[in-house]
Amino acid sequence: MSTGVDPQELPPGLALAWGLPVKTSKLGRPPSQSVEQVVEAAIDLADAEGFAALSMPKLAKRLGLTANAIYRYVRSRDELLVLVAETGWGPAPDLAAGADRWRTAATTWTQAMIDRCDVHPWLVDLPARGAPMTPNLLRWTEVILQTFTGAGLSPKEAIQCALLLDVYARRIADMRRDLRQNSAGPAQSTAVQDFLLPLLREHGYPIVAALMVDDDFSDDIDDSDVTFGLTRILDGIDGLLPRNRNHRTADPAD
């Protein structure tokens, strides 16, 4: 399929992400790799060594290519990152249908984002590039917009709510990744508690001390923490729905 637009005029990686051919150099030996193989190798590299390892020379070495040969497949690191993001996020989740099931759908979508970042922690390090433009990322956007507009929100309200969930999911994933990689001792260890508790009580931190005694002052983010925050966000979105907005308008107390 041709769009009638010169791929060279598009942002890096956009045409390749949509499966459209892009002209590359014909010089030298026939390609030994495909773009898909290059992207998969980049994902393996990022999974093993983190986002900072995603350099063109390092990727070329991993593939057994020369530093210049890698550019036969992707024209720049920017192009590589677009393709890596598209493949790393993968297909959007299937969401529950029906206006009365929007909370279930929004929860599934948000948890799916967190889960993808658990699989590929470097996803949270990818630079923000504005609105999504590639197939998988657009589908992630489309399904959550369908959920919110199906519940009665306007498209503008829907995209704003989607952004709120997106930010929450990425932040949770980022914090969980950092905590997993933290080399310091856990805050709830016996030695730390024995050290801190007398100091907390002496210097005026009674609430923190009580939480620590009850093992509620944790350096971990578990499912209950994620659910608590997400429920508060969804409660706020619920107030935007037409049935609740109309009820508030008609309420004499307002």
In a domain, 197, yes or no: no
174 and 70 assigned to the same domain: no
Please check the confidence at residue 112 and state whether its pLDDT lies above 60: yes
- 25: domain CATH number? 1.10.10.60
Residues 123 and 236 in one domain: yes
The angle that helices 155-181 and 102-119 make with each other, rounded to 10 degrees, is: 40
Pair (239, 154) in one structural domain: yes
197-233 pLDDT, tens digit each: 899 998 999 998 888 887 767 667 888 889 999 999 9
Report the mean per-residue pLDDT for the chain: 88
* Residues 119, 237 share a domain: yes
Domain end, chosen from 89, 110, 131, is at 89
CB 85 within 8 A of CB 19: no
Same domain, 62 and 123: no
Q: Is residue 71 part of a domain?
A: yes
How far is the C-alpha of 121 from the C-alpha of 75, rounded, in Å? 25
Q: What is the mean pLDDT of the segment spanning 117-124?
A: 96
Total domains in the chain come to: 2
124: containing domain: 99-182+219-250
**Distance separating alpha carbons of residues 82 and 80, to the nearest angstrom:** 5
Q: Is residue 207 part of a domain?
A: no
- At 186 the pLDDT is 57
Task: Tell me the C-alpha distance between 175 and 191, whole Å.
Answer: 24
